[in-house]
Amino acid sequence: MKNEKIVILEKINKSFTIGSDNYPVLKDISFSLDEGDYVAILGASGSGKSTLMNIIGCMDTLDRGTYLLEEKLINRCKDKELTQIRNEKIGFIFQNYHLIPQYNVLQNIILPLLIRGDSRAEATKEALNIIDLVGLTDRIKHKPSELSGGQQQRVSIARALITKPKLLLADEPTGALDSKTGDDILFLFDQLNKMGNTILMITHDEHVAKHANRILRLSDGILKEDREEEI
C-alpha cells in the first residue's frame, strides 16, 4: 500500500526585496515527502535551504506556488491556523537547541503538551517514555547548563517528539556538536525513522545528509538533484 503524502510543494518561489532590488531566493521548487520518508535538503550557505525550511515549517510565507501539508493548503492559512499547525503537525529540532535555561529536562519536554492544554500528569507520563527513548532517564532533573551539547540536543529531540508530529523538521541538528556526538545524534535519527517517523533534515554537511534515504540538493535557490542514497 502506498504511503500517505505528508508534504507536497509545487513551483515554490520566494524573493526578498532590499531597497529597490528584488532578490529571488527559491525558484520553482517542487518535491514531495511520503509518510516514513527520511530526506535531507543539502546546500551551502546562501543556497536557500533555510528559507525553504521556514516555509515548510510554516514560519514564513511563499510568493508563488502551492504548499500542501497533509492535504491542507498552507499558503491560504491565516496566522492563527499556522500557529496551530506548527504546534500539532511539526516537531522542530534546531542547531542551538532552544531550551528554556531555567527549566529542567522534564519541564522542557512537557512544555508543548502543557501549552496544548494537557494535564501535567498526562504530559509527564508521556514524557517519561520519550526520555527513556532518547537515553536521558538519569538526567531528568538536570537543567540545560548541566548537560553536554549532545544531551541538550536529545532534550530538543524529545520535545519535538512529545506531540507525535507528522513531520520532524531538523535544522543542522549536529551543527553545534563534535563529530562523535554528532554521529550519536544521527544514529538516534536513524532509529526514529525506523520507528516510522517522517524526517526532513536541513544541512550543509554531506556526511550528515548521507544518513537520509533521499538527498535533495539546493544551489542558488534551485533544486538540482534528487537521488537515492545507499546506506
Q: How far apart are CA 125 and CA 114, in angstroms?
A: 12
Give 96-144 pLDDT, tens digit per residue. 999 999 999 999 999 999 988 999 999 999 999 999 999 999 999 999 9
Does residue 6 have a pLDDT over 50? Answer: yes
| Confidence at residue 161, expressed as pLDDT on a 0 to 100 scale | 96
Predicted confidence (pLDDT) at residue 224 exceeds the cutoff of 90: no
Listed in sequence order, the DSSP H helices in the chain are: 49-56, 79-89, 105-116, 120-133, 149-161, 179-194, 206-209
The strand pairing partners of 15, in sequence order, are: 24
- CA 199/CA 217 separation, integer angstroms: 16
Task: Quickly name the fold that domain 36-62+89-228 has.
Answer: Rossmann fold (3.40.50)
Is residue 147's pLDDT more than 80? yes
pLDDT digits 0-9 by tens, 9-58? 999 999 998 888 888 999 999 999 999 999 999 999 889 999 999 999 99
Q: What percent of the chain has pLDDT over 70?
A: 96
Residue 73 β-bridge partners: 68
pLDDT band at 231 (very low <50, low <70, confident <90, very high): very low
* Alpha-carbon gap, residue 148 to 135, rounded angstroms: 13
Position 229 scores a pLDDT of: 43
Domain ranges across the chain: 36-62+89-228
pLDDT at 230 over 50: no
Confidence label for 227 from pLDDT (cuts 50, 70 and 90): low
Average pLDDT, the chain: 92
Long-range contacts of 191-194 (CB under 8 A, 24+ apart): 192/157, 192/161, 192/168, 193/36, 193/38
Q: What is the band of 226 on the pLDDT scale with cuts at 50, 70, 90?
A: low
